A and B are shown apart, each in its own frame.
Chain A
Amino acid sequence: MSLIRALVRLHPASFRERWGPALEADARAAGHRSWPNLLASAVGLWLHPVVWPAKSPSQRHHRAAAMAFALTLATWFVGRAATTNDPRLTWRAHRTLTVADCAAFMLLGAVLILPLPRPTWHAAATLVRKSLRALAAPAALGAGALLFVRTAHPAELSAIRPLVTAVYWLTLALTAIQAARIVATVSASAVTPPSPARLRPGIATLAAGGALTAWIGLSSTTAGHGFDALSAATGGCVLILTGMFLSILRDLNEY
């Protein structure tokens, strides 16, 4: 496969179906100078799923919801990793707010943006089947690790503690990825995409929760003794994710 074809294949499927052959032909005509431009357009399109060719406005809303849900899981994962490894973020250093409080606030936003299952047996069966298939691997991995921790000899356990920790984080990451995939790929016959009236306040809530988490992270960098790089990295990451929430909100207003 040529590099140009590979770069075209990085674009979202619905965009490729509509514009792929023409994009590839023009990129071939432009030669290697088009490579950075193709890469930038692929990244730009993945960050703005609302603009992909769609059959209906509700398909655009579903994509916005799926993107916002994926960002919510990413924010949760970053927050969870940071609070596990950095005690400063779990302190009530800000008196009224912790990362856990922000996560609870974001849960409210996530509930607002999630597509609702249709009240039919077909929809319920589709969702259960899809969830079981998608979450089987991370569930098996997590259950295996848990079983090992409960039954292993303490000496044996301390020897492979890093491996167990790695499996724990891998399980969490896989669960988050698969949950995001379920929401993104579930068919319109099984769920009703959220209306803009639900999506906008939901995404605004998520952005506010993200901004508060970023603020906690960034302001914790100098809260203890000296500069804390992990708090700074957490705050920076969540700030970027917050910007992405706001970008979906802007797309919803524009398209």
Chain B
Amino acid sequence: MQSNDAQTLVLCALSKGPLHGYAINVAIEELTGKRLGPGSLYGALARLEAKGLIELLDEVDRARPVQLTAQGRQVLEQELRAMARVADAGLRGLGVSTA
């Protein structure tokens, strides 16, 4: 992951289905042990929306959930596969089992 760390984390959090901002941050905390700052989270959402990777749904209980678009799913899958290849190569180099 590079400069778009926050964007990748948000896409990962949305992989199971639509979530609103606060729930996305809770999912990221479960994944990494740390929440994003609110500015980083909503900045990432704005950037992902501008790229057409997420879309807003109708308001539910005064919160607007977002979900991955078809393009967003595709980009996330490509990103995760690339990261998995790098992780796999690194672990094999270290002689650590990937299982």
A-side residues, CB < 8 A to B, are 15, 18-19, 21-23, 25-27, 29-30, 33-34, 36-42, 44-45, 50-54, 60, 254-255
Q: What number of residue pairs across chains A and B have CB atoms under 8 A from each other?
A: 74
Task: Report which B residues bind A (CB closer than 8 A).
Answer: 20-22, 25, 35, 37-43, 45-47, 49-51, 56, 62-64
Q: Are A23 and B42 in contact (CB under 8 A)?
A: yes
Given A51-B46, A51-B47, A53-B49, A22-B22 contact (CB < 8 Å): yes
How far in angstroms is the closest Cβ of chain A from B13?
A: 14
> Which A residues are CB-close (under 8 A) to B39?
23, 27, 34, 37-42, 44
Q: Is the interface of A mostly helix, strand, loop or mixed?
A: helix
Q: Are B50 and A44 in contact, with the CB atoms below 8 A?
A: no
| A37 CA to B36 CA, complexed, in Å | 9
Q: Given that A22-B20, A22-B63 are contacting pairs, would A45 and B46 also be in contact in the complex, using a CB cutoff of 8 Å?
A: yes
With CB as the reference atom, state the residue of chain A lying closest to B35.
Answer: A30
B18 to chain A, nearest CB (A): 14
- Min CB distance A140 to B, Å, is 40
Cβ-closest chain A residue relative to B43: A41
A-B contact pairs, 18 of them (CB 8 A): A18-B56, A19-B21, A19-B42, A19-B45, A22-B22, A22-B63, A25-B22, A33-B37, A36-B37, A37-B38, A38-B37, A38-B38, A41-B38, A41-B43, A51-B46, A52-B50, A60-B50, A255-B51
Q: Is the CB of B42 within 8 A of A41?
A: yes
Given contacts A22-B21, A26-B21, A254-B51, contact A15 B37 (CB under 8 A): no
Contact, CB under 8 Å: A45 / B43: yes
Most chain A C-beta atoms within 10 Å of own C-beta, residue among B39, B42, B50, B63? B39
How far is B44's CA from A15's CA once the two chains are assembled, in angstroms? 12
Which chain A residue shows the least CB distance to B22? A26
In the complex, the 9 A-B pairs of residues with the closest C-beta atoms, listed nearest first? A41-B39, A37-B37, A26-B38, A37-B39, A19-B42, A27-B38, A41-B43, A51-B50, A38-B39
In the bound complex, residues from chain A placing their C-beta under 8 Å from that of B56 are: 18
A21: nearest residue on chain B (CB-CB)?
B62
A51–B41 Cα gap in the complex (Å)?
14
Q: Distance (Å) between the CB of A19 and the closest chain B CB?
A: 4
Cβ-closest chain B residue relative to A37: B37
**Identity of the chain B residue whose Cβ is nearest the Cβ of A50 in the assembled complex:** B50
* Chain A residues with CB under 8 A of B49: 53
For A25, the chain B residues whose CB sits under 8 A away are 22
Q: How far is the CA of A33 from the CA of B50 in the complex (A)?
A: 28
